[in-house]
Chain A
Amino acid sequence: TQLLEQSPQFLSIQEGENLTVYCNSSSVFSSLQWYRQEPGEGPVLLVTVVTGGEVKKLKRLTFQFGDARKDSSLHITAAQTGDTGLYLCAGWPSYGKLTFGQGTILTVHP
C-alpha cells in the first residue's frame, strides 16, 4: 500500500494550459515537500509546507497543504515547455519514515 498517493502519474499538455498534481494520504504529515527532477539530475526542492491550510506561491506554481495535513496539491498556471520534468512529493508522516509519492511525469508540448 502506497502511503502517499500521487496523481496523475503521467500528464501531457500543451503550452499555456493549467494543471494540478495531487498527493493524498490517509496519514497526517508533519511536513511535505515538492521537488522537480530533470532527467539525469537530482531532485530540486520547490517548496516545503508545514502548516495545515498553507498556500505557497512560486511564480506560476501554487502549492497547497490540506487543512488536516493529509494531502497537498501543486497547481501550475499557463504551463511552459520548461516546466517539463518529474514532479515528486515527499513527506514525513507523523509516525513513520520519509515517504515519496510515485511521481508525476509532466510533458509540456510547444
Chain B
Amino acid sequence: GAVVSQHPSRVICKSGTSVKIECRSLDFQATTMFWYRQFPKQSLMLMATSNEGSKATYEQGVEKDKFLINHASLTLSTLTVTSAHPEDSSFYICSASWTGVGNTIYFGEGSWLTVV
C-alpha cells in the first residue's frame, strides 16, 4: 500500500531554536499533504493543509509564522516549528492524500517534539 514517511521520529530542541520535520510520500505523488498535532489520548487536530507549489492553508488558531509549511515537490512537505517553546512539545503527524479510490489518506509515523 501507499507509504508516507516522516523524519525525524523524535527530536529534542532548546527553547528559541527552530526544528524541521519532513514528510515524504514514498510511492505516490501527493499534491496535498496535511499536518496534525496530537495530544495524549486525543484525536488528531488538523493544523494546516499543504499544497504543492502554493501556500499552505492554516486552520483557525494556528500561527502560520510559527509553523512554517513548505511543499516544494509532489513527494515532500516540511513543517518548521520556529522559535520553539516548551508548549510546542507534542506529537506531530503528517498525511498525504492519494487520489485513488476513496481519496484515502495515509499517515506518516509521527514525530515527537520535545522543547527543553
Residues of A within 8 A of B1 (CB): 45
User: At the interface, yes or no: A44 with Cβ under 8 Å from chain B?
Assistant: yes
Of B4, B101, B104, most buried by chain A (CB within 10 Å of CB) is: B104
Residue pair B104, A88 in contact (C-beta under 8 Å) = no
**Least Cβ distance of B85 to chain A in Å?**
22
With both beta carbons as reference points, the residue of chain A lying nearest to B41 in the complex is identified as A105
**Least Cβ distance of B48 to chain A in Å?**
11
Give the contact-size bracket for chain B. 20 to 34
Residue pair B101, A48 in contact (C-beta under 8 Å) = yes
With both beta carbons as reference points, the residue of chain A lying nearest to B104 in the complex is identified as A48
Residues of A within 8 A of B110 (CB): 40-42
User: At the interface, yes or no: B105 with Cβ under 8 Å from chain A?
Assistant: yes
Residue pair B107, A44 in contact (C-beta under 8 Å) = yes
User: At the interface, yes or no: A68 with Cβ under 8 Å from chain B?
Assistant: no
Quick one: given A40-B91, A97-B49, are A45 and B43 in contact (CB under 8 Å)? no
Residues of A within 8 A of B104 (CB): 31, 33, 45, 48
Residue pair A98, B101 in contact (C-beta under 8 Å) = no
Residue pair A101, B102 in contact (C-beta under 8 Å) = no
Within 8 A of A (CB), among B24-46: 34, 41-44, 46
Quick one: given A40-B110, A40-B112, A97-B49, are A92 and B43 in contact (CB under 8 Å)? no
Quick one: given A35-B107, A41-B110, A42-B107, are A88 and B44 in contact (CB under 8 Å)? yes
12 contacts between A and B (CB under 8 A): A30-B103, A31-B104, A35-B107, A40-B91, A42-B6, A45-B1, A45-B106, A92-B103, A98-B46, A101-B43, A102-B42, A102-B43
Q: A31-B102, A98-B97, A103-B44 are in contact. List 8 more A-B contacts (CB 8 A).
A: A30-B103, A42-B110, A44-B107, A45-B104, A45-B106, A48-B101, A86-B41, A86-B43
Which residues does B use to contact A, with CB under 8 Å? 1, 4, 6, 34, 41-44, 46, 49, 91, 93, 95, 97, 101-110, 112
| Closest CB pairs A-B (n = 10) | A103-B43, A48-B102, A31-B102, A42-B107, A42-B110, A42-B109, A50-B102, A43-B107, A48-B104, A102-B43
